[in-house]
Amino acid sequence: MSGVKQGFRVELDPTVEQRIRLGLHAGLSRVVENFCLALVKAALDQRRAERSYGVPDQQLTPVPWSAPALEKAWRAAHPAQYPWFTKDGLSSRVPKEACRARAAALKNWADSRKGARRGRRVGFPVWRKRKHGSRFRYDADRARPSGARTVALPGIGPVVTRENMSWLTDRLGDGRVRIIGATVREQAGRWWVSFQIDIDRADVNSRRAVTFDAPACGIDLGLKTFAVIADDTGTVEEVHAPRALKAAQRRLRRANKALARCQRGSNNRVKAARTVAAVHLKVAHQRGDFLHQLTTRLARTKRAIAVESLNVAGMLRNRRMARAVSDAGFAEFVRQLEYKSSWYGSSVWAADRWYPSSKTCGTCGAINTGLTLSDRTWSCQCGAVHDRDHNAARNLLIAMHTAA
């Protein structure tokens, strides 16, 4: 099958024994990743020492960069160094995927050093610790639904889910979906499994495709008003974000204070840490729900969408705005909008990062170079009075039509 790559996440409802097994597999993944990193670091140190002795490059100790090389080293080492792996009957698929994850991280670092990877510089892989979260991965369809409310996980057994998976199981049954991997993750004491699937979305996309006479729109993103949507029909809509992190600040402050007062290593500290994690998880869910609902509605009802190319990383460097920018989720909004528009037949056009959408007069085209961030309305020399956000949304729409 050569369809669309998509994710399908469902929450698990494991028993006490299954929770222990899930934790053991998460620990196994962490151990294997650290084993691979130690192996690579030892080889790199050995090469440095050999170079100092004048050993030619072609005779230097090879570094196990690839996943097969790392997996081979793990298979050779675990009977003596980690006998509990076989004794506890843990799944052999987890170390395989942990080796792949380390190999991918090493490749990203090497490509970033050579300038062959886009985006910000990637550092050398670091040690995995418990505080980094509990997760592990299965390859292919080793983990898969065994029913509408049950998932079969190798090394753990059938685990009940908290949600119905008929949408996925029906498509698995008639061949419209193929599972290509699964990741199990713990968040705030709750366990989730995310299936990476290859799906034929033709039937879903055709039913929900945007109509040919749907309006085009320009979207101005901001902190005061999350999105101002200006249609080519003349209507303007303001969408306000829930600001979940801001609303949770009081609860988060109390939970962090309680955590700081607990003795390290105590059971009460574990409970307090889980309370903090639960607050963060609820914030993430509220933000994600808002973004998914908005982007789905836009992708299904607008035939063309103009957005800004925001420098989110630069905005986060402003300490006065960083929390509000993180709470908004601008980058995630644009990411979701782009892939959903490809599903439903709409298109997304991004303006140049330096396009002055807020400073340009939508009436005469003059640019107000003196406009500051605190100026919510401004008057042009031609006599037009503009609301900053509404004007920017209309200008983005005009720029998209001009570029087309």
Give the residue numbers marked as catalytic. 220, 308, 389
- Number of C-beta neighbours around residue 140 at 10 A: 13
d(CA 92, CA 54): 41
Q: For tokens 């004007």, name the residue.
A: 391
Please give the single-letter amino acid code of residue 40. V
Which residue's entry shows tokens 């709470």?
Answer: 327
304-307/216-221 β-pairing: parallel
Q: Measured between alpha carbons, how far is 140 from 347 in angstroms, rounded to an integer?
A: 32
Two tokens, residue 102? 């380390």
Q: Which of 239, 192, 197 is nearest to 337 (CA)?
A: 239
Task: Give ∠ CA 76-62-58 in degrees, rounded to 5.
Answer: 150
Q: CA-CA distance, 159 to 179, in Å (whole number)?
A: 18
Residue type, 333: F
157-160 vs 150-153, strand pairing mode:
antiparallel
Compute the residue count for the chain. 404
Question: How would DSSP label each residue in 85-149?
Answer: HHHTT--THHHHHHHHHHHHHHHHHHHHHHT-S-SSPPPPP----GGG--EEEEETTSSEEEETT
DSSP letter at 12 equals: B
Direct distance between the N- and C-terminal alpha carbons of the chain, in angstroms, rounded to an integer: 34
What is the C-alpha to C-alpha distance for residues 347 and 238, in angstroms, rounded to an integer? 21
Residues forming beta bridges with residue 218, ordered by sequence position: 230, 306
